[in-house]
């Protein structure tokens, strides 16, 4: 059986882990990297240097692949529509990309399938923000419609003055206003979907954000089973509705006992890094299976509990690889480093631990991540 060549646009840590997952399946992979030093480019054999925002580079790259997939959402949807019109096979496709790249379109897709969301509205003036706040109360949450991630592009505003500051900062770029939600817990569900619609869902996983950035997860989620099942059903309906092929991550809130759908990512996602050691088939393998139209693998947990903690660059700019041996001395610690040059606060890797006790696996993962960070960041 000759498998199609999968081209990955982007060469960060997600592409690096996709590439690793493709090796045992002998799926041929090419990368479109910005530079030779990108994390995935360091380990890949077949790399083209180019820009994801250049239609010419995308077109030249696609000509050497059978299928094109992505490790980020930075490609202009109009470029993707052009490529599809020229016969390029994109997985996920342009329709999916156009939804996930814009929070307004995400909310519209959620509403079409009846997924519950926080109250929200697109706003174009500070008067419209104030009107929303009169209806739903202060504080409110302002979100950049496009381009925000890891806490960037999200602001909690206590009054019209702080909202006006954000409005001025955005300089006319589209904004979404949402009602402030007092969150009991945050969790995520990931779905893998093949072109014809076959899907598998991963167990719901609790997630912890700090300053808007993902820090740690533990599976299975502690949310009530009925809510986890409801979330999985919503995630699968969304995947169908937007025609996603590959991985789809859906973030959820639990607030006052009610489920709320937050955001989408049509690619492997930090919230499912735990699946590498923690599930029979990792999110990266199932992504590569799905885009190659191969049967999907089991998403069952390999242990009663799985914890993952991110490792960020130490404040002194030192390299977590310098303390790798000490981190690996933590019982059961699986360390993943991303090949990135160290920089304070930069996401440089993660640690996963599996085991029988929820608190124990989380403590061991935090301990190993703290060693990598020289005691910075994780508690």
User: What per-residue confidence (pLDDT) applies to 375?
Assistant: 60
Over residues 96-109, the pLDDT tens digits come to 999 999 999 999 99
Residue 377 predicted with pLDDT over 70: no
The CATH number of 6-90 is which of 3.40.50.20, 3.40.640.10, 3.20.20.10, 3.40.630.30?
3.40.50.20
Band (281; pLDDT cuts 50, 70, 90): very high
Band (150; pLDDT cuts 50, 70, 90): low
CATH topology (fold) of 185-372? D-amino Acid Aminotransferase; Chain A, domain 1 (3.30.470)
Q: What percent of the chain has pLDDT over 90?
A: 92
Answer yes or no: same fold for 6-90 and 185-372.
no
Rounded Cα distance, 39 and 58, in Å: 20
Kindly state the tokens that stand for 309.
């903690």
Over residues 159-195, the pLDDT tens digits come to 999 999 998 999 889 999 999 999 999 999 999 999 9
Average pLDDT, the chain: 95
> What is the mean pLDDT of the segment spanning 329-357?
97
Buried b (16+ CB within 10 A) or exposed e, 79-90: bbbebeeeebbb
User: What per-residue confidence (pLDDT) applies to 336?
Assistant: 98
The CATH number of 119-179 is which of 3.10.110.10, 3.30.1490.20, 3.40.50.10310, 3.40.50.2000?
3.30.1490.20
Over residues 185-211, the pLDDT tens digits come to 999 999 999 999 999 999 999 999 987
pTM: 0.95
> Domain residue spans in the chain?
6-90, 119-179, 185-372
Kindly state the tokens that stand for 293.
């139209």
């Amino acid at each position: 059986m000759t498998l199609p060549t999968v081209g990955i646009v982007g060469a960060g840590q997600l592409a690096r882990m996709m590439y690793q997952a493709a090796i045992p399946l002998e799926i041929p992979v090419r990368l479109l990297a910005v530079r030779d030093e990108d994390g995935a480019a360091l380990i890949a054999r077949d790399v083209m240097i180019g820009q994801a925002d250049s239609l010419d580079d995308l077109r030249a790259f696609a000509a050497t692949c059978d299928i094109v997939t992505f490790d980020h959402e930075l490609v202009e949807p109009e470029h993707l529509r052009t490529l599809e019109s020229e016969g390029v096979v994109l997985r996920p496709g342009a329709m999916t990309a156009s939804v996930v790249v814009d929070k307004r379109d995400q909310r519209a897709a959620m509403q079409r399938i009846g997924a519950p969301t926080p109250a929200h509205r697109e706003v174009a003036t500070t008067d419209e923000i104030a009107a929303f706040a009169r209806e739903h109360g202060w504080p409110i949450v302002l979100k950049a419609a496009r381009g925000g991630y890891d806490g960037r592009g999200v602001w909690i505003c206590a009054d019209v003055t702080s909202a006006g500051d954000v409005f001025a900062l955005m300089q006319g770029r589209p904004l979404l206003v949402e009602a402030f939600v007092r969150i009991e817990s945050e969790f995520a569900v990931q779905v893998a979907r093949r072109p014809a619609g076959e899907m598998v869902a991963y167990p719901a996983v609790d997630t912890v954000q700090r300053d808007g950035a993902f820090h740690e997860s533990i599976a299975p989620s502690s949310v009530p089973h009925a809510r986890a099942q409801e979330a999985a059903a919503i995630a699968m309906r969304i995947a169908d509705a937007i025609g996603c092929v590959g991985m789809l991550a859906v973030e959820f809130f639990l607030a006052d006992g009610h489920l709320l759908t937050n955001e989408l990512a049509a690619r492997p996602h930090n919230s499912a890094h735990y699946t590498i050691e923690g599930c029979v088939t990792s999110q990266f393998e199932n992504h590569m299976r799905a885009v190659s139209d191969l049967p999907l693998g089991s998403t069952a947990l390999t242990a009663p509990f799985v914890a993952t903690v991110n490792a960020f660059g130490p404040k002194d700019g030192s390299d977590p690889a310098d303390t790798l041996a000490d981190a690996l001395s933590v019982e059961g610690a699986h360390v993943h480093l991303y090949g990135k040059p160290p920089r304070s606060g930069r996401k440089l890797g993660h640690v996963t631990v599996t085991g029988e006790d929820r608190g124990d696996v989380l403590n061991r993962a935090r301990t190993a991540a703290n060693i990598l960070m020289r005691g910075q960041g994780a508690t």
